[in-house]
Structure 1
Amino acid sequence: MTQSTISKGFIAAGLMNTVGLLIFSKGFTNEVIPQTDPAVMSYFGLLMIMVWGLAYIAVSKTYMNVKWLIGVFVLEKLAYVIAYLVWFSNNSLENVYDQNLLAGIFYTLYGLNDFTFMIFFAYVFFKITPSRETPAH
C-alpha cells in the first residue's frame, strides 16, 4: 500500500467513526442503539467512538511517526470486536431491526467495520519501520 492509500485508510476509519455514527444514530437521537447495548454504546460511548475517529483523521498524514499509537488503535479495535462478538452471541439482530432499521444496520456492520480497520491498523503498525536516528540525550 502506498502512503497516500494508507492516509486515505485513516481518513476512512475516521469518517466511519464520526459521520457514519452520526448517520446511524440520527445525530444522537436514535435511542435504540444505546438501549441495545448500554455498556458499550451509551451516548457517552458513542461520543468516545467519534473521538477515536478524530484521532484516526489527526494522524492520517503523520501515521509513520506514531507507530505505537497505531498499535493502540489496533488494541482499541480489538476491544470493540470482542465486545461485538459478546453482544452478537447473546442478542438477536432481528430484534434490533424490528425496533429501528438504522440501528439494525449499525449492529450488522459495526463488528465487521471494526475488524476490517483493526486489520488495516495492524498492517500499518507492522509496515512502519522504526527511525534509524539516534535519540538526542
Structure 2
Amino acid sequence: MNFLEWKSSYEASPGVYGVSDCCLALADWAVANGYEDGAEDLRGAYQTEAQMYAIIAAYGDVVDIVGRCATIAGCKQIQRQTLGSIAVIGNPQNVYRQWGAIWDGARWQVRLKDGFVAISARPLKIWAV
C-alpha cells in the first residue's frame, strides 16, 4: 500500500488514545499491508495519556510494547529503515520521549492528535512492513 495515500486517509480522523495514537497507527499501517493486528488486545484498553503510560510501564517501555505487537503481527526486526518500515524513535532512557513512527523515505512520521508530524530522531528499533 502507498504510505502517503494511507497517511492522508488515516489522519482525516483525529488521534485518539487507544484508537489511533502513535503506536496503534503502526499496527494499523501493518494491517493495511496484510499483517495480523498485533495490537488487537490494546485497542480500547485506554482512553487517556495516563492510562496509556500505565500500560507501557507494565511492558517496560515503548520499544517493548511495540516489539511485542510487531512480533505478533509477523513483522521482522531490521537494522536500517526502508520506506514504510515502523520503529520506536526517541530517547532510550525516557519512556516519555519515545514514539511509534513510520519511515516515509526521508523522515519518521509520528501520529499525534492533529495528524502526522515529521521528526528527525534516532530509531531505537525498526521493523519491516
TM-score range, shorter chain: 0.3 to 0.5
Which of structures 1 and 2 has the bigger CA Rg?
A: 1
Q: TM-score, normalised by structure 2?
A: 0.32
Q: Which has the higher helix share?
A: 1
Q: Which has the higher strand share?
A: 2
